[in-house]
Chains A and B, each alone.
Chain A
Amino acid sequence: MQSVTSFFDRALFRRDLQRFWPLWFGYTLLWLLILPLTLLNQLARASWISHAGWHIAKEISHDVLAIGAYGGLAMAAIFGIFFAMAMFSYLTAPRATQGFHSMPVRRETLYATNYLAGLACMVSSIVLAFALAGVTAALFDALDLAAFGTACLAAVLAVVFFYSFAVLCMMFTGQILAAPVFYGILNFLAVGMEYLVRNFAGTFLYGYSGYMAPETFTILSPIWRLAQALSVRAAPDVDLILSDGTRQIVSSGGYVLYGMEWLGVYAAVGVVFALLGLLVYRKRPSEVSGSIVTVAWARPVFKYGVALCAAFSVGQLVYYLIFGINLTSGEYSLAGTIACMLFAGLLGYFAAEMLLEKSFRVWRKGRVGAVVFSAVLVCFGVGMSLDLTGFEGYVPAAERVESVSVYLSSTGDYFHGKFSEPESVGAALAAHRAVIADKDRQLAYRDRATEESGDTARIYSFELNYTLTDGRVVRRSYKDCHITAAELREAGSIAQTATALLNCPEAARSRALGELAKDGSYTITGGYYNAFRNDEEGAYAGNIDGELTAAQASTLVSALRRDYEAGRTANASLFEDTRYNARFRVELELWYIPRSDGKTVGTAMVNDYGEITKPSSPAASRSIYVIVTPDMTEALGALAEMGVEMPAF
């Protein structure tokens, strides 16, 4: 009669705990050092502050949340693999595997019991550490139960994911030392490979801007993703109506752990991994202990995966080591890159084959795969360099562009902003087309050292981020475009189109007024001026500066708007920033607070006694930076009324 499946065996569980108590003890000790002991020190130091329990509790809650999140992440990531290696170490020694598998216990029971034993060790240590920390905090009247609970939960969720992930890695290998290697690599493989592939693409694709794009596959690199997602920040501000009728945003002074939802998602994935591990274990034959990869279908994945990773990492590294001297002049060698990648890829391929076969004689068995791999790699490299996908020449149609963010820095002026008006979008598209059309000449410039003179200039960086109507984002980035003054007169040249882009209405308005170009969406709170005077030869001859009141700053904004509408703001140039060449200029920094729901809001702080204090400064304040030139008569007039006479001083 077939017995009913049981997923837990008490004898085995007890045995696991007895066998691996040193690891359990060490892990617990570390947690106790990290949390309760640190907390005790902190509280003992702060205990002399009388009536400050509330304040200390907030500080402690910050630290506890940080330890739960970051400490929990690090501890789970490191010890997850140690516990998995311990609990399933018997699968990596043939004698032990046979010993366990000959016992009257099903594979499911073995797996589930060992899995639970490891999980129980890790979770119990965390719970103990947080419980002791909570008692310690309570003794000092600094217990924030919500923060302790959240932090403990965060650490436990991290354990569920990383331990399960490590166990799954163990299921795929029969070599104890291969498990941490797989685990470590898989934790960073996606972001690492994405970076390497982008680096490869960036070498050969004109205008490729993959470096700027957010990483697509970070979710597949758990440590990376969680390290980015988790953060302990001040609790959200709360809107309050004070007794005098004014509305204030009150900062509670408390802290919140952001990114818990990511931990939840990963913990759920961890549960799935644990179940997958069970499935793999059931299929995994006993005789594979000692093999580097235990599952048949994973063997080619491992082999070609190692080859690919080696090609992109070691291959590119070898290329930089051999050909790096040429890179400063922009001489990228397609053949050199592919040769280096091929060399490293084949090295990786045969190394993987040797590990799989446990033999150095793998040429005969692996040669066909090696040829296939080489052919694919060469085709990929050549295909990318020939731009078979049409990447380099692609410019979105104007009607499909919702907005475009432009960053343009040059020898002269620079611009960074977002366009959505058709005229501005059209200017950006024209400049983009001009850069593409001029590709060969620009690459030729890169290959030879060129000196700049008064008639030449460089566009150091020209970046375009199109947001299309269907939500897609198209990114391009061009570096070091060489232009000449003569080209300003050539229709469709880079110089002409980029200058037009810099001076399109949206750019000019942004340059003159920044965010204040939108009327009524802000409250001016003050500012600062710095007036410079040059001598006859254009050299610095002195300056005066001072603060502006909110009213003065508002007056200046109105004057600046009138100057802009009258066309008196200076034109931008790629060759020089003319605003600095005049006899004088006034650099203005104007402070403002964006409005929400049509009401100006400020912030209030809560003191150590929980009382709301009046705001001393507008914490949500922003500023714009504007240069007033001699042509801007309205702004100069307003300044004169404020006692800043130009160029009288």
Chain B
Amino acid sequence: MIEIRDLVKTFDGFAALDGASVSVPQGAIYGLVGPNGAGKSTLLRHLTGVYRQDSGSIAVDGEQVWENVAVKRRIASIPDDWYYFMQSSIRDMMKFYRGFYPQFNMERYEKLRSVFSLDEKQLIRRLSKGMQKQAAFWLAMCCMPDCLILDEPVDGLDPVMRRQVWSLIMQDVAERGTTVLVSSHNLRELEDVCDHVGIMNKGRVLLERSLSELQDNTVKLQIVFKGDAVPELPTELNMLHESHLGRVFTIIFRGSTQQITERLAALDPVYMEAVPLTLEEIFIYELGGADYAVRDIVL
């Protein structure tokens, strides 16, 4: 289990992380989403022991990560910009990783050779960006990590390879109970693989829940009222967004679907239907409440 509490990190006076807290259950695939500059990569770098926090704590199964070799051996990471030696091939890097990860699995390395079909003797710098990403996955998976930290992991991979990679990760989660923390802007993809989601903005985690809980807790209703205007809605309803097309109003509420539809039924609408919300919509509407929304600008 990954437990990050009240993490603070400032760079030259700017708070990149401002009390961020994240809790990733054992065996979960946790999607960390947020706008650019929210602090996602910074948070992940703390988790991999690259950065040292100003305050707060980062623990894996109760053990602090910073300068803890035993814990870091259980963590493999694939950053957005994976590092390899300029003159090295995948095989060279494999030897390098094997020196640091005692549990490095050569059997898995051989098996994955057929999956990635890369020339392990070719210099990595001569590979395309997508192929370099595959190489990073190949090596990271062979480290047999208990925690896999991924920053924009499938960026640059073709659709087939994306599926392949996610399938490998999910297989590892299912078989070995690997905990995965993934940061991505591809919410559509995260929605398919994640069971937990955290939304970050301005160095803080605004909310984190299981995906089903998150979807259950936000309601999108399409309603047609009698007459052209919207009657006055009960003030206790937490409305996140409202739009309309003719007489059809689309309103997003935070709360339980059952409770909200019961309250609105009292207004005697002509038509009312709850529509499922995508992760992208939840992301947009939640951040809209945090002063981060798509603005209508006429150029």
Contact = CB atoms under 8 A, between A and B. Distances in A.
Contact of B99 (A6, A15, A98, A106): A15
Given A3-B68, A9-B99, A286-B50, A104 B83 contact: no
A1 B101 contact: no
A287 B99 CA distance: 25
B110 interface: no
A439 to B, nearest CB: 54
Of all A-B residue pairs in the complex, the 6 with the closest CB atoms, nearest first, are A11-B99, A99-B83, A104-B72, A102-B48, A104-B73, A3-B69
B70 A3 contact: yes
A105 B69 contact: yes
Contacts of A101: 48-50
A10 interface: yes
Interface residues of A, number: 27
B281 interface: no
Contacts of A95: 81, 83
B273 interface: no
Give chain A's interface secondary structure class.
helix
A10 B99 contact: yes
Interface string B79-93: 101111101000000
A96 B69 contact: no
Most buried by A among B50, B63, B72, B101: B50
A19 interface: yes
10 contacts: A3-B68, A3-B70, A11-B95, A15-B99, A102-B72, A102-B79, A103-B72, A106-B67, A286-B50, A287-B11
Contact of A103 (B51, B63, B64, B100): B100
Given A3-B69, A98-B45, A98-B83, A287 B101 contact: no
B183 to A, nearest CB: 15
Interface string B45-74: 100111110000000000110011110110
Contacts of B99: 9-12, 14-15
B286 to A, nearest CB: 29
B77 interface: yes
B39 to A, nearest CB: 13
B51 A287 contact: yes
Nearest to A101: B50
Interface string A1-31: 1110010011110110001000000000000
B96 interface: yes
Contacts of B64: 2
A211 B240 CA distance: 80
Given A101-B49, A106-B69, 12 more contacts: A3-B68, A3-B70, A11-B95, A19-B87, A95-B83, A97-B50, A98-B45, A99-B82, A104-B72, A104-B73, A106-B67, A286-B45
A15 B50 contact: no
A3 B72 CA distance: 10
B70 A1 contact: yes
B50 A105 contact: no
A583 interface: no
Given A11-B96, A15-B99, A104-B69, A285 B83 contact: no
